[in-house]
Amino acid sequence: MKILLVSSYELGHQPFHIASAASALRGAGHDIRTLDLGLGSLTPLDVEWPEAVAFAVPMHTAMKIALQASEQLNASRPGLPLCFYGLYAAAADLPGGSTAIAGEYEPGLLRWAAGLRGGSHVDLERSAISVAPDRTGLAGLKDYVGVELAGERRVAGSTTASRGCRYRCKHCPVPTVYDGAFRVVDRRLVAQDIDAQVSAGARHISFADPDFLNGPSHAMRVLEETGSRHPELTFDATIKVEHVLRHRDLLPRMAELGLVFVVSAFESTNDETLKRLDKGHTASDMAESVHLLRANAIDIRPTWLPFTPWTTMQDLVAMLQFMEQHDVDVDPIQLTIRLLIPRGSLLLNLPPEELSVDVYDPDALGFGWEAPDPRLDDLHRRLVDLIERLEGRAQDDILEAMTGEILIAAGMNENAVRLVSGEGRPRLTEPWFC
């Protein structure tokens, strides 16, 4: 069968999820072409050639873009079999007759390609991945996100050493599918994928696991084996605060093996909000993790969730003060993030007195909510508008304007907190994290 695999967004990386799907489907004898909507758009040939189309939708932004592209396909090729696979596959109203596959999607894609169409499926079968990703036909790594390190921009690749997560943070899309299940990827396949990307020019690898230390022994073996083959390669990984503290004894060796920075979901400095989100850490834990990582020459790039149904003006100020006090690098876009509540979110299990939501909005792919303090909703809109108007300006200028907006809204002097962009620190060139 002629199948077009479409990626719309994977945090600026060369799309792992169509590479993994391509490997499985080509192995079964299907004729595969790939398209990354992050670099191009559907052409007449893309519309006319395939007998079926599958969209990789590992995140919210990817699903929104995929739905727009599916409308274009339906308009030109009504009845063309469509499949949406990944974490957000069941989070939207799909075109009639479409198939949704979440979890370990490769076996489901093979069944779909063999003619099993329609419905929504979640597959958590162990050891579902048996072949390394096939990146044939994808644009080169230089066309994707890079890493800025030691004054230079390096070509970056990405892979995953595991899927799923042992934890059930209520705002995260992973537990809605995996429900605490965690799957390691065969180290041989991880090695093959990294080797192929190094041969294609990668000098840095981002581990896109939901949490790299869900399986610490497995993660360390991956790093050790990779380091033995590519000693100059550097890495970044997502690691929750709880794991930074619990596995602090691993940090020195991880740094030696090339880990240069960690992405960690701090979210808020309000301990009550962190408890509602079931994050498993406190604000003081966050501070300790910052200093632990830096003591081992590993930088920290936290992600934040400034706007939630429980946020107060003082929470926003406290967040800025934390960043300033601990010299935490922040991308301006992080100051605009608003809690998304998609279908199946564990947040919907909170009692009504803790969370009140509006009806599901199919365009936003989530349930709406309003802040108890109307000033916060207005502030959020102003910040989003501000970052759009200042696009192209220096990061420090944008941060100054945005922190000033927050401080003035809180009745404080606009210069009461001063943040810096962290220019020169290791970072990916793509500021989005979700």
> Kind of pairing, strands 360-361 and 99-103?
unpaired
Token look-up 């042992």 returns: 166
Token code pair at residue 371: 């802040």
Is 2-123's fold the same as 141-428's? no
Helix axes 105-113, 16-27, angle to 10 degrees: 50
pLDDT of residue 207: 97
Closest by alpha carbon to 138, among 67, 180, 197?
A: 197
CA-CA distance, 364 to 357, in Å (whole number)?
13
What CA–CA distance (Å, rounded) separates 108 from 91?
17
Q: What is the pLDDT of residue 127?
A: 53
Phi, psi for 405 (deg, rounded to 5): -60, -45
Q: In whole angstroms, give the CA distance from residue 349 to residue 345.
A: 8
How far from the centroid of its chain's Cα atoms is residue 171's Cα? Answer: 13
* d(C-alpha 320, C-alpha 385), whole Å: 20
364 DSSP β-pair partners: none
Closest to 328 measured CA to CA, from 386, 390, 266, 388:
266
Instruction: State the Cα–Cα distance between residues 402 and 242, nearest whole angstrom.
Output: 30
User: 141-428 has which fold?
Assistant: pyruvate-formate lyase- activating enzyme (3.80.30)
Tell me whether residue 390 is exposed, middle or buried, using C-beta atoms within 10 angstroms of its C-beta: 0 to 12, 13 to 18, 19 or more. middle
Question: Taking a C-beta distance cutoff of 8 angstroms, is the pair 58, 17 a contact?
Answer: yes
Q: Exposure string (b/e) for 66-102, b if CB count within 10 Å is 16 or more? A: bbebbeebbeeeeebbbbbbbbbbbbbebeeebbbbb
Give the pLDDT means over successive 10-residue stretches in the chain (434 positions).
95 95 96 96 95 96 95 94 94 91 93 86 72 94 94 95 95 94 94 98 97 98 97 97 98 98 97 97 98 97 96 98 94 95 95 94 94 95 96 92 97 94 85 60
If one looks up domain 2-123 in CATH, what number appears?
3.40.50.2300
pLDDT at 150: 85
The domain locations on the chain are 2-123, 141-428
Amino acid found at 296: N
pLDDT (0 to 100) of residue 327: 93
Strand order in the sheet with 299-304: 299-304, 259-267, 234-238, 204-207, 152-159, 146-149, 427-428
DSSP one-letter string for 215-275? SHHHHHHHHHHHHHH-TT-EEEEE--HHHHHHTGGGHHHHHHTTEEEEEEEEE-S-HHHHH
Q: Where does residue 78 fall: left (phi above 0), alpha (psi -120 to 50 degrees), or beta otherwise?
A: beta
The pLDDT assigned to 122 comes to 83
Q: pTM for the complete prediction?
A: 0.94
